[in-house]
Structure 1
C-alpha cells in the first residue's frame, strides 16, 4: 500500500471544506495522469461543498489519447488564459509543483495546494503532498478518495485507472505496490472497454508524419539517439516519438526535440538503469529554461530567444539551432558515460 503515514489528510479536508472556490491547475499540455488527478481533486472539492471548482490548463491538448479522454469522460477544462487565479480562494497544482516550470503560472506565485509525484526540490504551499516514490499522481488522489470515504463513480474510476495505466505504461514503468493497490480498488468500478478504446486511439496524420521524421532525422552515437523534428504544431508528437525510437535495437536512451511556437520542446526516455535522464536534462538545460523529470522519462522547454531568433521560414537558422541542441545533448551524454 501507499506509504502515507505522514500525510495529514484532515488538513486538506478542512482547507477545502472551508473554501468557497478552488482552481485546479494541470501542467501544460496535460496528460492522462494530470487530467485524472485534476478531475479527482475537483470531485473531492465538490463533495466537500466548494461552490466554484474549475480545472485549468496551459498549452494544448493535442495528443489523440488525451483529447479522446477529455471528450469520452466529459472533463470540463478551462484554458488558463481565461482564468484569473487571484479570483479563487485556493489554487491547487496536481502532477506538477513549481510555478513557472511546465505550467503557465507566474513563477512568483505560491500555490495553496500541491499534490505531485515528480522529483522536485523546494516544493512550497499551504498544503503539500509530494511523493516522488509513487509512480503516478492518480495513485495519490485515489488514496484521498479512500481516506475520505467519498463516492466514487464509474467516470472517475475510469479516469484514474487510465491515468495510472498511461503514466506507468501499463504497469511496466516505475510501478510500485501503490499503483497495484490503487488499480485493485478502482478495477470493479471502471469501464474497461472505454480504457481499451482510449488506449487504442488512432494516430493523427501529423503524429504519424512526426514519428517518421524522427526516424529519418535520428543520429545515433553508441546506445544514445537524438532526433529533431524542426517546427511542429503538436507537442505530444515528441514523447510518442521518443517512446517509439527506444524500441530500436541497441538504443537505450532517446531524446527528441522540436520547435513549438516560441520554445524548443524536448522529450527523453531511457531504459538504462544507470542513467537518470531527468537529472541529465535538468543539468543540461535548466539554466536556459526548465527541464527535468524521472529516472527513465523527462522533458523540458527552452525559450527560443535564449538561443537566438529563428524565423519560421529560415531553414539555415533552424538547422544551426538543431545542431546546437544536438551537440549539447551528446556532450552531456558523453560526459555522463565517462563519469
Structure 2
C-alpha cells in the first residue's frame, strides 16, 4: 500500500515537473507558506486555517492525481491523432507539391499535387531518372532558393532541400503568363534609315522618284500595320519605329527577312535601295525613353559602320545581335570625305605632344604598311612618333619588308613594344589605331586603359567592341585595305615635297596587293587609283614579289591544308591543320583563298594551330555567304567575304565543332 502511494506521488511529481508552469507554482507555494508563517505569529487562528487549507489541497491532489493525469494523457493522445490527420490532409492537399526520395534517388513519397505534376502513380521505389530525367537535373542544379523551371511544358517554382531529400513545387503558370505578358509589352525603340536614298532619288527623273517614294512608303506602312508597329517618317531617309518586345521577337525569329525581300524587289527594278535599322530596348522598368532613343541611334550608327543593309538589336549591356548585312556595300567614298578626314587627322596630330601608332596583333602587310604611312604623316608635322610592334609575331613577308634595301631610316628609332610605349604616354598623347578597331585585337590594348585620345583608321566592318575615347573615326568598309585609305591621304597633300619615298610607296602597295589577293578581291576603282599613285612614286613591284616569296615548307603546308579539305552542305569547304603543328596566318589565309577555287565552294574555312595555346580560323567567301557573321559568333570579325577568328585554350578538333555550330546558326 505504501509503495502504491509512493508511486502515485512520484507519478504526480514527474508529470508536474513536465509542465512549463512548475516553477511558477513552486513560487506561489513558497509565498503561501511565508504568509501562513506570518499568520501564525500575528494571528494563530488564521495560521491554523491556512494550514488546514493547504492540507486539504494536498489531500485533494493526492486522491485525484491518477484521474487527472489519465485525463490529460487521453486529451494529449486525441490531440496527437487529430494533428496527424490534419498534417496528412495538409501535406496531401497542400498547394505545394512535395516529393521525397531516398539516398539512392528512388521515389519515396509524394503528395497529390506532386502526383499531378510528374504523374508518378505506381512509381514509388523507382529511380527519379527513370520517371523523368528532368528530376535528376533539378536535384543536381537547384538548391533551397526558389527557381522558375519549365517541366512538361508548364512553369513551376521549385526548391530542393538536400538534407531532407525533398523537392517542393509551386504552380507558377498564371504568374508566369502575367510576367511574360508584361515583358512582351515593354517598349522597343528603333530607327530605320534608307541607305543611299539621296543617290537613288537623284538617279531617277521626277516622276520616277515620286512614284518610287510613294511606293516605298506604302510598302513600309503596310508592313508596319501587319506587324503592329508604329512608323513615322522624321526625315526624307529616316523613320522612327515603336513596337513591343513580342513583335520584336517575331521579327527576330524571321531574321528580318522582309527587308531582304524589299531590297530584292527594288533591285529587280534597277533601284539599289536597302535599309539599315538600329533597335534598342531594356529590361529596366524605369528606363527613360531618351536613353532608348540614344541607344537606338548608336545601334543605327553601328549598322552603318558595318556597311549598312542590316539590323542591329541591342538590349541594355548585352551583346548586340546582327541580322542581314549579306551584300557587299557599294563604293561611296569621295575625295572630299578623304580630304576632310585627312585635315581632321593632321589637326589632331598638331594638337598632340607625341603620336603612338598601333596595328593589330599578329600584324599583316596592310597593318604594318599603313602604320608606316601614318608615321610618315606624323613626322612631316614634326611630331615624335612611334609604332608599337611585337617582333616575335612577324611573318616572313613582314621581316622581308623591314630588311628591304630601300629602307631610308633606322628602324630602332621607330618601333617600340607595348611596355615601352607606356613610358611615352601623357595627357596629350595621340594614339592612332590602323587596320583594326577592336581593343582586344590591338597591340596597344594595355595603353587603352589610360584613356589617351584615339584615332581609328580601318576598313573592316565595325564591331560592337570599340574604343570609347575616339576623337576621330575613319572606317570605310568599301576600301580594299587600310593602306589604300592612307595612300589617299598622301594623294591629298598639296606641297612641293615628296609625300612618300620609294620604300613607303612600296610598303603601301604591298599592303594593298596582299589584302586584295593581287587585286582579285574587294577591289574598286579607287584601289587602282591608289595603286597607280604609289607606282608613280616609285613603288617597286619586283621588290614586292620578292618580299612575298614563300618558303618551300610553307608551300607544302598550304597544299597539305587544301588536301585535307572536307565539304559541309556542299558549299562549305573546311580544313584543319595537324594538332600541335603551328602555321602562320598568311599560309592559312592563302590556303583559304585557294579552296575558293574548288568547284561549288562558296565559303572556305581553315582551322590552324596558331600557337601552342591558341587556334586561328581564316575564312573566305565568294560573296553569297557572310563569313564575317560566322566569325563574329566565334569572337572574330572582318568583312563579308574575308574574316578571321582566334580561339584561346582549345584544340583544333574543338574549334571545328564550334565552327560547324556557328555555320548552322548562321543559316
Scaled by the length of structure 1, the TM-score of the pair is 0.83
Shift in alpha-carbon separation, 1:4–1:109, aligned structure 2, 3 A: farther
What is the aligned partner in structure 1 of residue 118 from structure 2?
none
- Measured after TM superposition, the shift of residue 301 of structure 1 is 0.8
Query: Are 2:527 and 1:179 aligned?
Result: yes
Which residue of 399, 412, 429 corresponds with 1:67?
399
- Measured after TM superposition, the shift of residue 97 of structure 1 is 0.9
Deviations 1:162-192 (Å, cap 9, x if unpaired)? 2111111121101122211111222222223
Which residue of 22, 27, 33 corresponds with 2:355?
22
What is the aligned partner in structure 2 of residue 330 from structure 1?
660
- Measured after TM superposition, the shift of residue 261 of structure 1 is 3.2
What is the aligned partner in structure 2 of residue 167 from structure 1?
515
- Measured after TM superposition, the shift of residue 195 of structure 1 is 2.4
What is the aligned partner in structure 2 of residue 310 from structure 1?
none
What is the aligned partner in structure 2 of residue 100 from structure 1?
440
Q: Which whole-Å CA distance do the structure 2 matches of 1:220 and 1:82 have between them?
A: 44
Query: Are 2:417 and 1:80 aligned?
Result: yes
- Measured after TM superposition, the shift of residue 269 of structure 1 is 1.1
Secondary structure of the structure 2 residue equivalent to 1:5: helix
What is the aligned partner in structure 2 of residue 198 from structure 1?
547
Query: Are 2:336 and 1:5 aligned?
Result: yes
Conserved 8 A contact 2:388-2:444: no
Please list every run of 5 or more consecutive structure 1 residues that lacks an aligned counterpart in the other structure.
Answer: 308-320
Conserved 8 A contact 1:58-1:104: no
Shift in alpha-carbon separation, 1:211–1:176, aligned structure 2, 3 A: same
- Structure (1 or 2) with the larger CA radius of gyration: 2
Secondary structure of the structure 1 residue equivalent to 2:562: helix
Return the structure number with greater helix share.
2
What is the aligned partner in structure 1 of residue 485 from structure 2?
140
Deviations 1:239-284 (Å, cap 9, x if unpaired)? 122223333333332111223132111111121x22110111112x
What is the aligned partner in structure 2 of residue 293 from structure 1?
638
- Measured after TM superposition, the shift of residue 96 of structure 1 is 0.6
What is the aligned partner in structure 1 of residue 581 from structure 2?
232
What is the aligned partner in structure 2 of residue 244 from structure 1?
594
What is the aligned partner in structure 1 of residue 615 from structure 2?
264
What is the aligned partner in structure 1 of residue 387 from structure 2?
55
Secondary structure of the structure 2 residue equivalent to 1:84: helix
Conserved 8 A contact 1:265-1:299: yes
Which residue of 600, 619, 625 corresponds with 1:275?
625
Secondary structure of the structure 1 residue equivalent to 2:361: coil
Q: Which whole-Å CA distance do the structure 1 matches of 2:416 and 2:591 have between them?
A: 26
What is the aligned partner in structure 2 of residue 214 from structure 1?
561
Q: Which whole-Å CA distance do the structure 1 matches of 2:422 and 2:361 have between them?
A: 15
Shift in alpha-carbon separation, 1:168–1:215, aligned structure 2, 3 A: closer
What is the aligned partner in structure 2 of residue 315 from structure 1?
none
Which residue of 583, 603, 621 corresponds with 1:253?
603
Q: Which whole-Å CA distance do the structure 2 matches of 1:59 and 1:153 have between them?
A: 24
Which residue of 17, 32, 43 corresponds with 2:365?
32
What is the aligned partner in structure 2 of residue 46 from structure 1?
379
Q: Which whole-Å CA distance do the structure 2 matches of 1:16 and 1:2 have between them?
A: 23
What is the aligned partner in structure 2 of residue 312 from structure 1?
none
Bigger RCO (CA 8 Å, 6+ sep): 1
Conserved 8 A contact 2:418-2:443: no
Secondary structure of the structure 1 residue equivalent to 2:629: helix
Secondary structure of the structure 2 residue equivalent to 1:326: helix
Please list every run of 5 or more consecutive structure 2 residues that lacks an aligned counterpart in the other structure.
Answer: 1-331
Q: Which whole-Å CA distance do the structure 2 matches of 1:9 and 1:235 have between them?
A: 34
* The 10-residue stretch of structure 1 (119-128 or 34-43) with the greater mean CA deviation from structure 2: 119-128
Conserved 8 A contact 2:463-2:637: no
Scaled by the length of structure 2, the TM-score of the pair is 0.44
Q: Which whole-Å CA distance do the structure 1 matches of 2:628 and 2:472 have between them?
A: 25
What is the aligned partner in structure 1 of residue 431 from structure 2?
91
Shift in alpha-carbon separation, 1:209–1:68, aligned structure 2, 3 A: same
